[in-house]
Amino acid sequence: MKTCIIFNPTARGDKARKFRNHLDSLASFATLKPSTAPGHARALAAEAVHAGFELIVAAGGDGTVNEVLNGIGDVPEAFSRVRLGVLPLGTINVLALELGIPTNLAAACKALQSGREILIDLPQIDFLTPGKTTPRLFTQMAGFGWDARAVELVDWPLKKKIGRFAYVVAALQAMRQPLPEITVSDGARSLTGQFVIVGNGRFYGGRWALCPQAAWDDGLLEVTVFPRATWGAIIRGGAALLLNRLRSLGGVQFLRAPALELTSRPLTSAATPAPVQVDGEYAGTLPARCSLRPRCLRLVVP
């Protein structure tokens, strides 16, 4: 299978260092394409599709995977002939965790060469601005409100030093800001809250099953809505996750649908439209639509 691997040659951390140490062995079965700036991986992925690569591998975290995914999607009909692979080198690697892709580089490479192909639903969020609609594909989940504000506030130099704990610092900062009220609707039912997750997979931020009934190939998106992003709600939600009892937590609401409309209403004059993150990367603000293409994305897994 004609394979290319897209990676960031300046990425820091032990996983990235080990990856660079194995460049010669990787080059024995794949073409290596280094990215040089944010957004470059997307352009490289589109180029790889045009060059006839059958397997395009994102070597990095969930953000790199999202860039490569959108690059493939930039080419019409590409998903009918191109497979997506993952070498998890990021801080959390939520998609790899859910797919069972090993974090050990040698084992992950073996999975790429001898793994099986699965078909999963491909979600898309369309940001709605006057006179323009901007689409963004994602694999795992999209977050609206509190967590997206935290992603927006992450100090990237701090993240290089302390890893995932930089998100905790940013989440604490986000709690001190006025958050808008978000409404999500499937056309028949509407839910409102300050923290909304739309999941294609179950996991969020690691092995936290915030969308516990989500399935890759059922043609539905699962929505989890927390009415208020307060300390009490966060503590109760964390305890419920640890006990696998999120669905019985009072106040948390769920919705499953193939398409969604999301809007926001600032609660104070200082609040801005609700921010949005996709696969852990800040992506824009509401209003937006979410939909999916059933069993469209071809993934290589162990």
Task: Examine the pLDDT at 85 and tell me if it is beyond 80.
Answer: yes
pTM across the whole model = 0.91
Pairing of β 31-34 and β 3-7: parallel
**Residue ranges of domains in the chain:** 3-114, 124-297
Higher local confidence (pLDDT), 241 or 210: 210
Q: What is the DSSP string of 191-221?
A: EEESEEEEESSSEETTTEESSTT--TTSS-E
Active site residues: 281
pLDDT tens-digit series, residues 9-49: 877 777 888 888 888 889 999 999 999 998 999 999 999 99
Supply the pLDDT for residue 168: 74
Supply the pLDDT for residue 86: 96
Q: How far is 101 from 113, CA to CA, in rounded Å?
A: 13
Q: How far is 91 from 12, CA to CA, in rounded Å?
A: 10
Average pLDDT on 188-207 reads: 93
Query: What CATH topology corresponds to 3-114?
Result: Rossmann fold (3.40.50)
Of the candidate ranges 133-142, 151-160, 197-206, 279-288, the one whose mean pLDDT is the lowest: 151-160
Into which CATH architecture does domain 124-297 fall?
Sandwich (2.60)
Of the candidate ranges 13-17, 107-111, 181-185, 266-270, the one whose mean pLDDT is the lowest: 266-270
Residue in the structure block whose two tokens are 């499953």: 256
Task: Examine the pLDDT at 60 and tell me if it is beyond 60.
Answer: yes
Task: Examine the pLDDT at 125 and tell me if it is beyond 90.
Answer: yes
Q: pLDDT confidence of 269, banded at 50, 70, 90?
A: low
237 within 8 A of 246, measured Cβ to Cβ? yes
Question: Largest Cα–Cα distance of the chain, in whole Å?
Answer: 58
Supply the pLDDT for residue 231: 62
| Per-residue burial over 80-104, b = 16 or more CB atoms within 10 Å of its CB, e = otherwise | eebbbbbbbbbbbbbbbbbbebeee
Supply the pLDDT for residue 240: 65
Q: pLDDT confidence of 130, banded at 50, 70, 90?
A: confident
- Average pLDDT along the chain: 89
